[in-house]
Structure 1
Amino acid sequence: MKQLCLQADASYAGVRIDKYLAEVMSDYSRSFLQRQLKDGNVTVNGKREKASYKVAEEDEIAVLIPDNLEPDIQAENIPLDILYEDDQLLVVNKPKGMVVHPSPGHYTGTLVNALMYHCKDQLSGINGVLRPGIVHRIDMDTTGALVVCKTDIAHQSLAEQLKVHSITRKYRAIVHGNLTVDSGTIEGDIGRHPTDRKKMAVHVRNGKPAVTHYQVLQRFGNYTYVECQLETGRTHQIRVHMSSIGHPLLGDEVYGPKKCPVAGLHGQTLHAMVLGFQHPLSGEYMEFTAPLPEYFQKLLLKF
């Protein structure tokens, strides 16, 4: 049996523990988490609590996961576009349509399956069997640079850099409409959508601070090509923030128009182009650029 340890932050203070667990442990179903609460497999500060318990800031929450519920993730010989690699980490250029780590409905064909084949047993184990080596992620239909940790030392270093927002993350995107200014900053707390668990939203209860800077690169009348730089790293941050100012990403059927106006385009036009961080051992600043994918280049030429 595996134990997951969590610490509640201030944004969840006063939230029922069953709702808290559903948000922070989204890889597991609500019914599974409810069952663990009922069976006494969830403790808060060492004490068993019911589903109605309201979380307090800095609560130490432990959840026991039965062994037979951890899927057997298999290594798969899937080609990787590697931008950099050493004995501590590697930076990959993730293609469109690839899920980063296994989750319900996606236990094969993920980046983790490919990494397990490429790295063998040399991946950080901090995030468990579902997310070995994964310190941050990008959405299935988002392409671009992603750092993967081979050692726990590297994982801890990169996680701390993410926490203090010292990692450089610049994205390229095509958004609907013509932005009225050449650059700007979007600030708006992001949290789980109150009625749709698969979506995020701005200015919701329990939202966490989020800041996105954007710069117009080219205008196409009905669309605008932009660079977005993350100051924070919330789930779906760029997609949610750009939609919140009336300029959702082209192809994003979750936060934008339900029907994509460009035939053959699947998923949002979002590319993690630049990724920079301090190497966990040397402390040297390193920066990597993932070239725009072919589909993205063709769209720019088409407009």
Structure 2
Amino acid sequence: MSEFSYIVKTSDQGIRIDKLLVNIIDDYSRSQIKTWFDKNLVLVNDKAVKQNYKCQAEDQIQWQVPKAEPLDIVAKNIPINIVYEDEDILVINKESGMVVHPAAGHQEDTLVNALLYHCDDLSGINGVKRPGIVHRIDKDTSGLLVVAKHDLAHESLSEQLKEKKVKRAYQAIVHGDIPHEYGTIDAPVGRSEKNRQLMDVTEKGKAAVTHFEVIERLHGKFTFVKCMLETGRTHQIRVHMKYIGYPLVGDPKYGQRKTIDVDGQALHAYHLSFEHPVKKEQMEFEVPLPEKFATVLENIRKSN
């Protein structure tokens, strides 16, 4: 563990200590510095303080930087579709069937395993199990997600997500003939009280908003739709479409018993836009439907 110190200047007086440390320390993000306060690693005049402490002139600030937690995830040479890459971020077009990060039952062959093989550095804000992962998409959902190479990029992207500045749009095939062209589903999503392995619309859930738009109606049996996320709850689109009576085709958790075999839900994250965390330029990406999804859609169009 490394130790550092700083004497507060007159011009620094009255500034919150966490903000002062962010200003004087270049190599660590606000999120990382917050963890030092949680662990009582920041002292003022030899006493531990909270992150909202107001600095006084001549205060002696001492802080300790803990050693990085060793990474126990194995880097694996797994092909990934990189849509964009620079020194700060990657944008990945994830294929259906790939888990984003290690979890119970999926310790290897995840996107994180592949990223660790491809990149020397990834952000550590989400811990050793989720390096670089700013947001995720389900195992059987294909499409775009952004990965942060360092903590400052991660912090900026997370803030944009929180402020709803990241735009995410999906394409999906649902059961049933949606009668209206547009709609908004505003219903809280949380853990199901009947089955803790599932999510559900519940009063105890967190606010969740999904906008949808009909792209094409398919013989009165199915509808091809565009879904736009305003929030990003677990399984949000899948839960919301089931809630209004139009579950996703192929969805093993929330779909109908009799459905089309798509090896998972017919859901593709085709559009992603955000402000570059360092260059501050607006970035926008779109990818086409994967072949399997496109084939299912075409077969439905040809059926009676």
> Smaller-chain TM-score range?
0.7 to 0.9
| Secondary structure of 2:113's aligned partner | helix
Amino acid of the residue matched to residue 295 of structure 2? K
**Native 8 Å contact 1:192 1:204 kept in 2:** no
Number of the residue aligned with 2:95: 95
The reply to whether residue 179 of structure 1 matches residue 178 of structure 2 is yes
CA RMSD, Structure 1 to Structure 2 (Å): 1.6
1:82 matched to 2:82? The reply is yes
Paired amino acid for 1:218:
E
CA contact (8 A) 2:262 2:296 kept: no
- CA distance in 1 between counterparts of 2:296 and 2:131 reads 35
**Aligned-residue offset at 1:128:** 1.2
Which of 215, 218, 227 is 1:217 aligned to? Answer: 215
SS of 2:297's equivalent in the other structure is helix
Following superposition, the deviation at residue 253 of structure 1 comes to 2.0
Identity %, equivalent residues: 56
SS in 1 for 2:135: coil
Report the Cα distance in structure 2 between the residues aligned to 1:280 and 1:71, rounded to whole angstroms. Answer: 25
* Residue of structure 2 aligned with 1:299, choices 275, 290, 296: 296
Matched, 1:267 2:279: no
Could you tell me which residue of structure 2 aligns to residue 161 of structure 1? Answer: 160
- Counterpart of 1:289 in structure 2 is 286
Q: Match for 1:72: what amino acid?
A: D
User: Offset at 1:86?
Assistant: 0.4
Look up the SS of the partner of 1:265 in the other structure.
coil
Q: Distance in 2 between matches of 1:145 and 1:272?
A: 6
Structure 1 residues 149-168: Cα deviation after superposition (integer angstroms, max 9, x where no partner)? 00101000000011111101
1:107 aligns with 2:104: no
Q: Aligned partners of 1:189, 1:159: CA distance in 2, in Å?
A: 21
- Tell me by how many angstroms 1:204 deviates: 3.1
Q: Which runs of 5+ in 1 are unaligned?
A: 1-44, 47-69
Q: Deviations over 1:32-77 (max 9, x none)?
A: xxxxxxxxxxxxx99xxxxxxxxxxxxxxxxxxxxxxx98210000
Distance 1:116 1:174 in 2: 33
Unaligned stretches of 5+ residues in structure 2: 1-37, 40-69
**Alpha-carbon shift at residue 125 of structure 1 (Å):** 0.9
SS at match of 1:116: helix
The answer to whether the Cα contact below 8 Å between 1:98 and 1:110 also exists between their aligned partners in 2 is yes
TM-fit CA distance, 1:176: 0.3
Deviation at 1:105, TM superposition (A): 0.9
Per-residue CA deviation, residues 56-111 of structure 1 (Å, 9 max, x unaligned), is: xxxxxxxxxxxxxx982100000110110000000000001000000011011000
- Please report how far the alpha carbon of residue 132 of structure 1 lies from its aligned counterpart in structure 2 after TM superposition: 0.2
* Aligned residue number for residue 197 of structure 2: 198
Query: Aligned partners of 1:299, 1:85: CA distance in 2, in Å?
Result: 31
Q: State the 4+ residue runs in structure 1 displaced beyond 4 angstroms.
A: none
* Alignment partners' CA distance in 2, 1:95 and 1:285: 25
TM-score under structure 2 length normalisation: 0.74
TM superposition shift of 1:194: 1.0
State the secondary structure of the residue aligned to 2:210. strand
Aligned residues: 233
Local SS of the residue matching 1:272: strand
Q: Which amino acid aligns with 2:112?
A: V
Distance 1:258 1:104 in 2: 26
User: Scaled by the length of structure 1, what TM-score is found?
Assistant: 0.74
Q: How do residues 130-149 of structure 1 correspond to structure 2 at under 5 angstroms?
A: 130-149=129-148
Give the partner amino acid of 1:191.
G
Q: Partners of 1:107 and 1:71 in 2: how far apart? A: 13
- Judge conservation of contact 1:193–1:204 (CA < 8 Å) in 2: no
